[in-house]
A and B are shown apart, each in its own frame.
Chain A
Amino acid sequence: MATLRDVKVGGSCTVAALTGTGALKRRIMDMGLTKGTQVFVRKVAPLGDPVELTVRGYELSIRKDEAASIEVVNVTRDE
């Protein structure tokens, strides 16, 4: 299944599942990335990591390694 890591800048998707565990998983969910949440990948940092997302109307930054633990569906790309 595709993960958030694979979504290109400018793309949107819906969270399907979280594969992480413990503190990391809880933190990601606490910040509003729960099952069914719409996510827009806004940009990548100048050094290539982390990425900036728009979630629930605010800007959130997570590392690509962490993005890889978020499985997504309905990936779309708006040009």
Chain B
Amino acid sequence: MAAITIGLAGNPNCGKTTLFNELTGSNGYVGNWPGVTVEKKQATWRANRDVTFVDLPGIYSLSPYTPEEVVSRDYIVGERPDAVINLVDVTNLERNLYLTTQLIEAGRPVVVGLNMCDLLKDRGDVIDTAALSERLGVPVVEVSALRNTNLDALVKKAVAAGQAGEVPAGARCFSPEVEDALGRIAQLISGSCDANLVRWYSVKVFERDAEAVKALHLSSAQLNQAEKIIKAVETSRDDDAESIITSDRYDWIASVMDACVRKAPKKLSMSERIDKVVTSRVLGLPIFVAVMFIVYYIAVSTVGDWGTVWANDQVFGEGWELFGVAIPSIPAVVEGWLAAAGASDMVSSLVLDGIVGGVGSVLGFVPQMLVLFMMLAFLEDCGYMSRVAFVMDRLFRRFGLSGKSFIPFLISSGCGVPGVMATKTIENEKDRRMTAMLTTMIPCGAKTPIIALVMGVLVGGADAWWVAPMFYFLGLAAIVVSALMLKKTSMFAGEPAPFVMELPDYHLPALKSWWLHVWERISAYLKKAATIIFAACVVVWFLSSFGFASWEGGDGSFGFLASLPGAPEYSADYSLLAIVAGAIAWIFAPLGADTWQATAASINALIAKENLVSTFATIFGLGEATEGDPVMWQAFAAMFTDGAGVMHAGAMCAFVAFNMLDAPCFAAIGTIRRQMDSPKWFWFAIGYQCVFAWCVGLIINQLWELFVLGNFGAWTVVAFVLLAGMIFQIARPMPKTEKADDKVLAQLA
């Protein structure tokens, strides 16, 4: 059999993901559609590897306005899969059929799968499949994606349709007047496109769909004639063409519903009863707070944290015990192998410090992410996630974000990696990108040692309740300020995205689809993020272990520092990292932290933020000292004390603020890269984070110098200019831009 490609199309929440997983065993490839953060999944059929499925994003329509809809229609009309399976949720048939009426015009064989028929039967409704099939002019199969019933029949029908190339004629779903106009437009354009697409393009030209019209390369005479035909109908119907098409489709669907579906009298469903309480005016907010607290408590404070501690301190630390049997830690095992193989010091250092140490600190987050994803997938699958947006929308849209941004922010207080990944649940692309850019500014678990270090310096270990909240506040303020500034830049400007959102019925997620949902994300993290982290760890290891023997008595030769003759115990001072950090430390002069040690610590912190503290311990020659040690506090404070013995606390705060807000660790950077899936957006995100963090640090340091220490200089002026610039950017009116819709199209073109 020749290879066949089948596109899976359907509304969001119609069970398409479950269908895809059932058909393919999710053996496939997960990526993004080119240029957009919309997920693209592709995999072969379990029963026959010659059949490939492409999972299109869940959409309500094939309009040209959202990236999801544009990639879907470009795929169906442009890339022309052999057939399209349209999965339809029968419990919401009327709205689901709206997409169907568009799909059957798109010039590809279509097979409709009626999903969730079991739920329909419970409700007592009856559907006449044969009559529906006749009206739509395509095969219709009753299936249950969840119970895996009839799925093979559905695919076989689609394969047969694809092989035969039976393109549906498209239902005559418009009023006679419109059909007549479409017929005349069809004659007008028939030479300009594929015969199978005449119906599709006739409707698109009638709707004045800019992209479709462009693709046809019509002459101005043809366009004028088409315009005359459209105008005539618009005048007689007293409405615009797009509205006429949409109304007619829904009116036709209503007639089909009357003919093919017999509805039982409606009762108040379980879902409606739950929702009456869960999003009510009085209980809505308390329930929301409680749910978020439970997610945070389990994923960040308790179970997830146990997992991380277990992974970091035992699996990658000192070893652990299972039922009384001692299991050595991975570094210990690897160390043993290396010793047994007679590896050189350099190879051992590369493997242990560079790879196992670096990648291990990233893998350490896997248990926590697992717990978190299990809870998030549950909230999503059961239908509560859209209620979160419903409840929080009012608050977040003031900052140009969506109600769903709340969840990534909350999770990022534990770890930025799942935080960035959680942005996947935000439908709107601008909101999704902005949230992914900003969410790591919330202090994560790995940043708490830094906070503890500053707390030690500032209050000397006293129980100061205000220090830690201050940093969370800094993170929140940075997000709000950034969001307010960014939404007026050309990359995010435009009308706020319409918040027109379905609130799907609540239901208990099926174990299988729930787990697949979790696994898909964890494995994507492991696969994609791990590659970039691996490379980055090796680079940082190389920089910090190689250097020139320029110490007293050294011969100046280049090599692996620890193996060079006469190397001091702490050879880090002579490493390439010290040289690189020393060369770029001037960048941090306005922040008051221009020592190479501070810069080197910031670079090391990219592997994991808590490395900031351990780097200082190493550089200061304090060995294993931690953030809780008074000697650490003194050494850290000394770095910000000038020759006259004046402590520059502003510089210290600036340095810490920079490290809180700048590019996150490699694990999170890798996740941002994967989420953005566009070099332009990835570098914009990382660049913005670093520049913004630098500006904040500069302002903190210079204002402290001026108001507390009375020092005024050129950088003080810069600080005020930056501050004024930020305020201006926030306060200025929304700049006039090309219409957001045109932009989406231009970007995709």
Let me know if A66 and B500 touch, CB within 8 A. yes
> Once bound together, how far apart are the Cα atoms of A34 and B247, in whole Å?
5
Complex: chain A residue closest to B498, CB-CB = A24
| Residues of chain A contacted by B393 (CB below 8 angstroms) | 45, 47, 49-50, 63
Let me know if B740 and A46 touch, CB within 8 A. no
Point out which of B94, B386, B498 has the most chain A C-beta atoms below 10 A from its C-beta: B498
Known: A28-B498, A32-B94. A50 touches B394 (CB 8 A): yes
Let me know if B499 and A61 touch, CB within 8 A. yes
Contact among A25, A37, A43, A59 for B250, CB-based, below 8 A: A37
Of B279-287, B341-349, B716-724, the segment with at least 4 beta carbons within 8 Å of chain A is B279-287
| Residues of chain A contacted by B504 (CB below 8 angstroms) | 59
Give 1 or 0 for each of A46-77: 1 = CB within 8 Å of chain B CB.
Answer: 11111010001111111100100000000000
Any chain A CB within 8 A of the CB of B33?
A: no
Complex: chain A residue closest to B502, CB-CB = A60
Known: A28-B500, A30-B246, A61-B503. A46 touches B98 (CB 8 A): no
Let me know if B98 and A30 touch, CB within 8 A. yes
Query: Shortest CB–CB separation between residue A56 and chain B, in angstroms?
Result: 4
> Once bound together, how far apart are the Cα atoms of A25 and B95, in whole Å?
17
Let me know if A29 and B246 touch, CB within 8 A. yes
| Residues of chain A contacted by B732 (CB below 8 angstroms) | none
Complex: chain B residue closest to A47, CB-CB = B394
Any chain A CB within 8 A of the CB of B490?
A: no
Any chain A CB within 8 A of the CB of B239?
A: yes
Let me know if B239 and A35 touch, CB within 8 A. yes
Name B's interface SS: helix
Give chain B interface residues in 218-253, CB to chain A under 8 Å.
239, 242-243, 246-247, 250-251
Number of interface residues of A (CB under 8 A): 35
Known: A23-B740, A45-B284. A59 touches B502 (CB 8 A): yes
| Residues of chain A contacted by B711 (CB below 8 angstroms) | none
Any chain A CB within 8 A of the CB of B391?
A: yes
Known: A23-B740, A52-B279. A62 touches B499 (CB 8 A): yes
Let me know if B503 and A60 touch, CB within 8 A. yes
Let me know if B60 and A30 touch, CB within 8 A. yes
Let me know if A47 and B279 touch, CB within 8 A. no
| Residues of chain B contacted by A56 (CB below 8 angstroms) | 94-95, 250
Query: Shortest CB–CB separation between residue B599 and chain A, in angstroms?
Result: 45
Give 1 or 0 for each of A6-24: 1 = CB within 8 Å of chain B CB.
Answer: 0000000000011000111
Give chain B interface residues in 721-749, CB to chain A under 8 Å.
739-741
Let me know if A46 and B503 touch, CB within 8 A. no
Any chain A CB within 8 A of the CB of B491?
A: no
Let me know if A50 and B285 touch, CB within 8 A. no
Query: Shortest CB–CB separation between residue A5 and chain B, in angstroms?
Result: 14
Query: Shortest CB–CB separation between residue A75 and chain B, in angstroms?
Result: 21
| Residues of chain B contacted by A30 (CB below 8 angstroms) | 60-61, 63, 98, 246
Let me know if B390 and A52 touch, CB within 8 A. yes
| Residues of chain A contacted by B500 (CB below 8 angstroms) | 24, 27-28, 31, 60-62, 66
> Once bound together, how far apart are the Cα atoms of A45 and B386, in whole Å?
12
> Once bound together, how far apart are the Cα atoms of A63 and B250, in whole Å?
23
Let me know if A32 and B285 touch, CB within 8 A. no
> Once bound together, how far apart are the Cα atoms of A34 and B394, in whole Å?
26
Let me know if B95 and A27 touch, CB within 8 A. no
Let me know if A36 and B247 touch, CB within 8 A. yes
Let me know if B501 and A45 touch, CB within 8 A. no
| Residues of chain A contacted by B397 (CB below 8 angstroms) | 63
Query: Shortest CB–CB separation between residue A39 and chain B, in angstroms?
Result: 13
Let me know if B394 and A23 touch, CB within 8 A. no
Complex: chain A residue closest to B254, CB-CB = A56
| Residues of chain A contacted by B247 (CB below 8 angstroms) | 29, 34-36
Query: Shortest CB–CB separation between residue B172 and chain A, in angstroms?
Result: 18
Complex: chain A residue closest to B237, CB-CB = A35
Give 1 or 0 for each of B492-535: 1 = CB within 8 Å of chain A CB.
Answer: 00010011111111000000000000000000000000000000
Give 1 or 0 for each of B659-698: 1 = CB within 8 Å of chain A CB.
Answer: 0000000000000000000000000000000000000000
Any chain A CB within 8 A of the CB of B92?
A: yes
Any chain A CB within 8 A of the CB of B339?
A: no
Contact among A17, A29, A37, A58 for B92, CB-based, below 8 A: A58
Give chain B interface residues in 238-281, CB to chain A under 8 Å.
239, 242-243, 246-247, 250-251, 275, 279-281
Query: Shortest CB–CB separation between residue A65 and chain B, in angstroms?
Result: 9
Point out which of A24, A25, A30 has the most chain B C-beta atoms below 10 A from its C-beta: A30
Let me know if B281 and A27 touch, CB within 8 A. no
Point out which of B282, B503, B740 has the most chain A C-beta atoms below 10 A from its C-beta: B503
Let me know if B739 and A22 touch, CB within 8 A. yes
Query: Shortest CB–CB separation between residue B744 and chain A, in angstroms?
Result: 9
> Once bound together, how far apart are the Cα atoms of A60 and B95, in whole Å?
11
Let me know if B498 and A45 touch, CB within 8 A. no
| Residues of chain A contacted by B285 (CB below 8 angstroms) | 46-47
| Residues of chain B contacted by A48 (CB below 8 angstroms) | 394
| Residues of chain B contacted by A66 (CB below 8 angstroms) | 498-500
Complex: chain A residue closest to B284, CB-CB = A46
> Once bound together, how far apart are the Cα atoms of A30 and B243, in whole Å?
10
| Residues of chain A contacted by B250 (CB below 8 angstroms) | 32, 34, 37, 56
> Once bound together, how far apart are the Cα atoms of A60 and B251, in whole Å?
19
Query: Shortest CB–CB separation between residue A42 and chain B, in angstroms?
Result: 9
Let me know if B246 and A34 touch, CB within 8 A. yes
> Once bound together, how far apart are the Cα atoms of A43 and B739, in whole Å?
32
Let me know if A27 and B98 touch, CB within 8 A. no
Let me know if A43 and B281 touch, CB within 8 A. yes
Let me know if A61 and B501 touch, CB within 8 A. yes
Any chain A CB within 8 A of the CB of B65?
A: yes
Any chain A CB within 8 A of the CB of B583?
A: no
Give chain B interface residues in 281-329, CB to chain A under 8 Å.
281-282, 284-285, 288
Complex: chain B residue closest to A64, CB-CB = B394
Query: Shortest CB–CB separation between residue B28 and chain A, in angstroms?
Result: 29
| Residues of chain A contacted by B389 (CB below 8 angstroms) | 61
Let me know if A59 and B281 touch, CB within 8 A. no
> Once bound together, how far apart are the Cα atoms of A30 and B288, in whole Å?
30
Complex: chain A residue closest to B503, CB-CB = A59
Query: Shortest CB–CB separation between residue A69 and chain B, in angstroms?
Result: 10
Query: Shortest CB–CB separation between residue A67 and chain B, in angstroms?
Result: 10
Any chain A CB within 8 A of the CB of B638?
A: no
Contact among A18, A27, A46, A47 for B498, CB-based, below 8 A: A27
Contact among A17, A32, A35, A61 for B390, CB-based, below 8 A: A61
> Once bound together, how far apart are the Cα atoms of A48 and B251, in whole Å?
33
Complex: chain B residue closest to A15, CB-CB = B247
Complex: chain B residue closest to A52, CB-CB = B503
Let me know if B242 and A29 touch, CB within 8 A. yes
Complex: chain B residue closest to A18, CB-CB = B243
Let me know if B499 and A29 touch, CB within 8 A. no
> Once bound together, how far apart are the Cα atoms of A58 and B13, in whole Å?
12
Complex: chain B residue closest to A31, CB-CB = B500
Query: Shortest CB–CB separation between residue B375 and chain A, in angstroms?
Result: 22
Let me know if B279 and A26 touch, CB within 8 A. no
Name 24 interchain pairs, CB-CB below 8 A, sorted by A: A17-B239, A18-B243, A22-B65, A23-B65, A23-B498, A24-B498, A25-B242, A26-B246, A27-B63, A30-B60, A30-B98, A32-B250, A34-B250, A36-B251, A45-B394, A52-B279, A59-B504, A61-B390, A61-B502, A61-B503, A62-B501, A63-B393, A63-B498, A63-B499
Q: Which 3 A-B pairs have the closest CB atoms?
A: A46-B284, A30-B61, A59-B503
Further pairs besides A30-B246, A35-B247: 11, Cβ < 8 Å: A22-B739, A31-B500, A31-B502, A32-B98, A35-B239, A50-B393, A50-B499, A61-B386, A61-B501, A61-B502, A66-B499
